[in-house]
Amino acid sequence: MQIIGKIRLVQTPWTNHSWHGPLCLSARGLSTSPIPHGGRHFEMIFDFIDHQLVIQTSLGEMGRVALKPRSVADFYGAVMGELQALGLDVRIRTTPCEVADAIPFEQDTLHHHYDPDAACRFWRALLQADRVFKQFRSRFLGKCSPVHFFWGSFDLAVTRFSGRIAPVHPGGIPNLPDWVTREAYSHEVISAGFWPGGDRKDSPPAPSHRRQPAGTPRWASSCSPMNPFKRPHHPMTCCSAFCRAPTRLQHRACPGSGDNWSGNRSGSLWRKRHRQPDGFIMQLSRWNLGDQSLR
């Protein structure tokens, strides 16, 4: 998936917080959305129903690459070959991002697994999370990201911004330049996300002096979106409440701030992360690019 994400990344004009890079949900899988290339546009779609990567252009041309068990090197070669056949000359940096001990795509014969059923089920879970996040996004009047899928961290997320500058992000994410991370977290944010799990250690823990406010929802025990038959709540209602809870949390921490976060705790670092076993993540963070703005 990183191969396709990097193709979109290099061909799309830079957007703040790297919003030009993520993939978006479609009725059949994940899509790059239209990508400019000379006088044409092209789109790449992971079709998790027919299990193929579809490449289509604005002139009606089309190419396909089968999604099946094969090495990363083989898949990379097939994708670049289809692009060349369609007259789409694209060059990317072939080292995977946000992965320690990364193997360049053209050299990776170690990873070759593809499970069609697991891929389809994961995409269908993303669709349901996408529905919740779009409803959550619609209630906010300020700056807010689209609901999009980050292929490096492998999570679907939506992010609200308070408008306040935040402290400098420490960086240190494998194979990702620190300036990219710092620009992405240049302002205070609240992010809701769906993540399948894994060994993700891209952020420091919450400061030990910051206690959880009284009355914080017990999300992990009272809200289990992926197991609706085990809980009395409707999963859509439960997930929506999960997304809205940090706004109330912020209001308790900074009385009077509300959804617009007008209150300010100057110089403080506030980051709190709640993760459920079934993948839902809520992250409140403040990072700041400071004087190193995209130099």
Note the pLDDT tens digit of each residue in 131-181: 999 988 888 888 999 999 999 999 999 999 988 898 999 999 999 999 999
Q: What is the pLDDT of residue 246?
A: 66
Global pTM reads 0.76
Of the two residues 83 and 190, the one the predictor is more confident about is 83
Mean pLDDT, rounded, for 253-277: 38
Beta-carbon-side half-sphere exposure of residue 138 (alpha carbons within 13 Å): 7
Q: What is the pLDDT of residue 189?
A: 86
Distance in angstroms (rounded) separating the CA atoms of residues 151 and 156: 9
SS3 127: helix
Q: What does each C-alpha distance from 121 to 27, 72, 89, 117, 223 come to in angstroms? A: 13, 22, 33, 6, 21
What is the chain's mean pLDDT, rounded?
79
At residue 38, does pLDDT exceed 80?
A: yes
Query: Which of 238, 236, 239, 224 is CA-nearest to residue 278?
Result: 224
Mean pLDDT, rounded, for 251-274: 39
Query: Which of 161, 157, 165 is CA-nearest to residue 144?
Result: 161
Backbone angles phi, psi at 230, to 5 degrees: -95, -5
Q: From edge to edge, which strands make up the β-sheet containing 155-165?
A: 148-150, 155-165, 187-194, 280-285, 272-275
- The amino acid at 277: P
What percent of the chain is predicted at pLDDT more than 90?
Answer: 58
**What tens digit of pLDDT does each residue of 46-62 get?**
999 999 999 999 999 99
Per-residue tokens: 119: 């891929």
